[in-house]
Structure 1
Amino acid sequence: MNRRNFLTLTGTFTGGTLLLPDFLHAFGSQTNLVIGEQCLVFIQLNGGNDGLNTFIPFDNPLYYDLRTKIAISKNDVLAKNNGMGFHPALKDFAKIQQNGDLSVVQNVGYPEPNRSHFRSQEIWQTASNPNQYLNEGWLGRYLDLQCKEHQPTAGINLDNIDNLALKGNEPNAITVKDPNRFKIRTDTDETIKLSDNPQLDFVRKIANSVTEGSDEIQKALAKSTAENSYPKTGLGKNLEWIARLIKGNLNSKVYYTSQNGYDTHDNQVAIQQRNLTELNDAIFSFYTDLKKANLLQNVTIVVFSEFGRRVKDNGNGTDHGTAAPMFIIGGNTKGKIVGNNPNLTDLDNGDLKYEIDFRSVYATLLKEKMNFDYTKIGINNSPLKGLF
């Protein structure tokens, strides 16, 4: 069995009680990672969210000329500022921004954009160049260097499947669907001695990840509760789990989750209204929970999608595009709009030209929040100014 398949079997948990082979219980505990209080929470919008209808250039007549079927009415745009404003479903985004806790980074993308969902997500998750293929994710590489010892819960992915962004040479991250059901049991205390073959070191680390990861998660949950109600949605539940793990002092450096459904070729107005409402409500509950716990300054929430949509509508929706905004919440962000408003007169074959490389955002997060030299994981883009 190769390493990738073994990791899939033992490093990912989608709920229920996991029964481990006896030999995996032959290993003892490991030293916990000593880390600071800052952490990053990533929310990935899968499918390519339409940025122009999310943070809207309502004061630009070209927006309405090019989007005759799907443009958001100027009267419905929220928190208007310098020609830009939020989709009406994002009423609490507007409130968070007015509180000074949300920054918008405009026109984020990368050169030679790829319009394939899979490949563009891969580029974002590995921080690679468009023509470069990497086996490890940018956060996995960061955790490999950050963790002096193997640490199974340095990264937590709340999802059904593993996330390439967290994949490193060491299994320092765990994917789990329902932390409350992530419990390890064995039907026997009998242990089997494992071979001393050094090639089995990875098996030992996986064993420790499974047992210690479960133990640490249960300890954190036992020390925390949700201080306010969350929406009964997939994203709402995942952010409630993340809040409880943070408040329970799990001390993970990175949390990751996602929301599906943003591939709006058709029926975009209704679909995006529904998706952005779910996003807004889940994030506002999370934001409010962290503020009540006096933890918002320690948690930086990053909301992004693999690409935006084309500027001109296709009649009832939009097709795959390029640049789009990112949203940064908490972490003592300065609450500003970073970058220029979308330029609708200078397009690249009908698409927005990116102005800010997403790797510059990554560099800023690692430098300002994690106190980490981003060049050590192959990111050479300059950090942004004015974000924190």
Structure 2
Amino acid sequence: MLRRNFLNITCTITGGALMVPEFLWAFGTQNKIRFEEESLIFIQLNGGNDGLNTYIPFNDPLYQYNRPSICISKDDVIGANKNMAFHPSLKNFFDIQQDGNLSIIQNVGYSNPTRSHFKSQEIWQTAVNSNMGLNNGWLGRYLDAEFRDHNPIAGINISRVDHPVFKSEFSNSASVQNPKFYKKDEMIIDKVKLSSNPQLDFVRKIATATVESSKAIQKAISNSKEEIIYPKTNFASKLSWIARLIKGNLNSKIYYTSLGGFDTHKNQLNEHSKKLTILNDGVYSFYKDLKEAKLLQNVTIVIFSEFGRRVKDNGNGTDHGKAAPMFIIGGNNNGSIIGNNPDLANLDDGDLKYNIDFRSVYATLLRQKLHFNPRKIGIKLPVIEGIF
């Protein structure tokens, strides 16, 4: 079997250790994750979600003044609280907040921001400064530090593509399009015998790890069932699979997925409402699923986007901006609103100023949810008090 043919298999083991012959040889002695330990689920909103029309400063006259074409009416917002409220498509986010299980972190961003989708996503996924070059992903670095013996299912990426957030020295994560079909014929191992060729050995050992991770994923699916009816969207389907894997005791520490379509330069009122409805319905089904399984306290859902949108509309939509809110669901969070309301009278070249660095959110998640020192992977910002 040619190495390039093997690596073209759609379900891949993720990582950067292409030159290491020992790759995943010790899978059988990997670190174990106890079921009662916590896991993080990241939902990335691709395209730059408009935070101002998601969690809305509806009583600020500057909101209506700057957005005459796309502002959300005061009569339509949901869950008004301290002059902020949800977009009408996020009615169930308000329900989760009323349950005390949703925290909102206001004005999240980073210094010297860029309006480039590619660069900003790279910054969020590596957690390095905007003037630095490429680096391993911050979650990849975390998994490297925690699983030195390799655990290819410590992180699960439910996506068509490998997110750079899992890029690492070792391979402690797997990218899976559909867990139901994440199966590898065990005969693949017999086709690649150990030899004096390190490339063939590499392929054989990846094949071994892929088969083992496939068995673990299939076992988790067989040990669980879909107890909540999820919406018939691709996004909801991905969350349904994550719920099945968690309930089936796969014991992965990190799950990662995304929802695209938030680059709303035009027709924003219609398009943004559609996307937020997909987000709301999928997340709420996932939330109910975990809550009924009594697992919500062990699972922390993090929702973010690479940047927000400009404060002033462009006549039919919004262009790329800077700061925006993040949402934290589950994990015994305090149901708090962290930070001040957006200050529309004090802008940064027409954009919201960031008040909270996203890496402080990461530091908080690592320390308080995963009991890990973020400085070990180069995140030196302080934790945020009051989220958990």
With normalisation by structure 2, the TM-score equals 0.92
Show the counterpart of 1:74: 74
In structure 1, C-alpha distance between the alignment counterparts of 2:133 and 2:195, rounded to whole Å: 34
- One-letter identity of the residue aligned with 2:32: V
In structure 2, C-alpha distance between the alignment counterparts of 1:188 and 1:170, rounded to whole Å: 22
- Alpha-carbon distance change, 69 to 299 in structure 1, aligned in 2, over 3 angstroms: same
Show the counterpart of 1:145: 145
Give 1:66 deviation, angstroms.
Answer: 0.4
Matches within 5 A, 1:5-44: 9=8, 12-13=11-12, 30-36=28-34, 37-44=37-44
In structure 2, C-alpha distance between the alignment counterparts of 1:46 and 1:97, rounded to whole Å: 24
Q: Secondary structure at the match of 2:342?
A: coil
In structure 2, C-alpha distance between the alignment counterparts of 1:69 and 1:189, rounded to whole Å: 60
Show the counterpart of 2:169: 169
In structure 1, C-alpha distance between the alignment counterparts of 2:189 and 2:96, rounded to whole Å: 52
Retained in 2: the 8 A contact 1:104–1:325? yes
- One-letter identity of the residue aligned with 2:28: Q
Show the counterpart of 2:233: 233
- Alpha-carbon distance change, 334 to 204 in structure 1, aligned in 2, over 3 angstroms: farther
Unpaired stretches in structure 2, ≥5 consecutive residues: 14-23
1:350 to 2:350 alignment: yes
Give 1:30 deviation, angstroms.
Answer: 1.9
In structure 2, C-alpha distance between the alignment counterparts of 1:75 and 1:145, rounded to whole Å: 50
Retained in 2: the 8 A contact 1:150–1:205? no
Residues 55-79 of structure 1 deviation map (CA, whole Å, 9 limit, x = unaligned): 0001111000000000000111111
Retained in 1: the 8 A contact 2:70–2:316? yes
Show the counterpart of 2:90: 90
Show the counterpart of 1:300: 300
Retained in 2: the 8 A contact 1:27–1:204? no
Q: Secondary structure at the match of 2:28?
A: coil
In structure 2, C-alpha distance between the alignment counterparts of 1:114 and 1:354, rounded to whole Å: 13
In structure 1, C-alpha distance between the alignment counterparts of 2:25 and 2:150, rounded to whole Å: 13
In structure 1, C-alpha distance between the alignment counterparts of 2:372 and 2:64, rounded to whole Å: 43
1:264 to 2:264 alignment: yes
In structure 2, C-alpha distance between the alignment counterparts of 1:305 and 1:192, rounded to whole Å: 42
Q: Secondary structure at the match of 2:184?
A: strand
- One-letter identity of the residue aligned with 2:149: E
Retained in 1: the 8 A contact 2:193–2:201? no
In structure 2, C-alpha distance between the alignment counterparts of 1:161 and 1:45, rounded to whole Å: 15
Retained in 1: the 8 A contact 2:192–2:200? no
Q: Secondary structure at the match of 2:382?
A: coil
- Alpha-carbon distance change, 11 to 38 in structure 1, aligned in 2, over 3 angstroms: farther
- Alpha-carbon distance change, 6 to 85 in structure 1, aligned in 2, over 3 angstroms: farther
In structure 2, C-alpha distance between the alignment counterparts of 1:266 and 1:90, rounded to whole Å: 21
Retained in 1: the 8 A contact 2:11–2:175? yes
**Identity across aligned pairs (percent)?**
58
- Alpha-carbon distance change, 136 to 202 in structure 1, aligned in 2, over 3 angstroms: farther
Give 1:31 deviation, angstroms.
Answer: 2.1
Give 1:12 deviation, angstroms.
Answer: 3.5
- One-letter identity of the residue aligned with 2:70: I
Retained in 1: the 8 A contact 2:107–2:342? yes
- Alpha-carbon distance change, 377 to 8 in structure 1, aligned in 2, over 3 angstroms: farther
- One-letter identity of the residue aligned with 1:9: N
In structure 2, C-alpha distance between the alignment counterparts of 1:381 and 1:62, rounded to whole Å: 32
In structure 2, C-alpha distance between the alignment counterparts of 1:159 and 1:299, rounded to whole Å: 20
Matches within 5 A, 1:1-388: 9=8, 12-13=11-12, 30-36=28-34, 37-186=37-186, 190=190, 192-195=192-195, 203=203, 205-388=205-388
- One-letter identity of the residue aligned with 1:33: N
Retained in 1: the 8 A contact 2:195–2:201? no
In structure 2, C-alpha distance between the alignment counterparts of 1:209 and 1:269, rounded to whole Å: 46
- Alpha-carbon distance change, 224 to 69 in structure 1, aligned in 2, over 3 angstroms: same
In structure 2, C-alpha distance between the alignment counterparts of 1:11 and 1:143, rounded to whole Å: 22
In structure 2, C-alpha distance between the alignment counterparts of 1:133 and 1:204, rounded to whole Å: 33
With normalisation by structure 1, the TM-score equals 0.92
Retained in 2: the 8 A contact 1:28–1:208? no
Greater mean deviation of Cα atoms: 183-192 or 258-267 = 183-192
In structure 1, C-alpha distance between the alignment counterparts of 2:44 and 2:215, rounded to whole Å: 27
Retained in 1: the 8 A contact 2:27–2:209? no
Give 1:203 deviation, angstroms.
Answer: 4.1
In structure 2, C-alpha distance between the alignment counterparts of 1:291 and 1:325, rounded to whole Å: 24
- Alpha-carbon distance change, 357 to 180 in structure 1, aligned in 2, over 3 angstroms: same
Across the two proteins, how many residue pairs are aligned to each other?
A: 375
Residues 173-208 of structure 1 deviation map (CA, whole Å, 9 limit, x = unaligned): 111111001111155774543235667775455233
In structure 2, C-alpha distance between the alignment counterparts of 1:279 and 1:151, rounded to whole Å: 30
Residues 309-349 of structure 1 deviation map (CA, whole Å, 9 limit, x = unaligned): 00000000000000000000000000000001001011111
- One-letter identity of the residue aligned with 2:305: S
Retained in 2: the 8 A contact 1:171–1:209? no
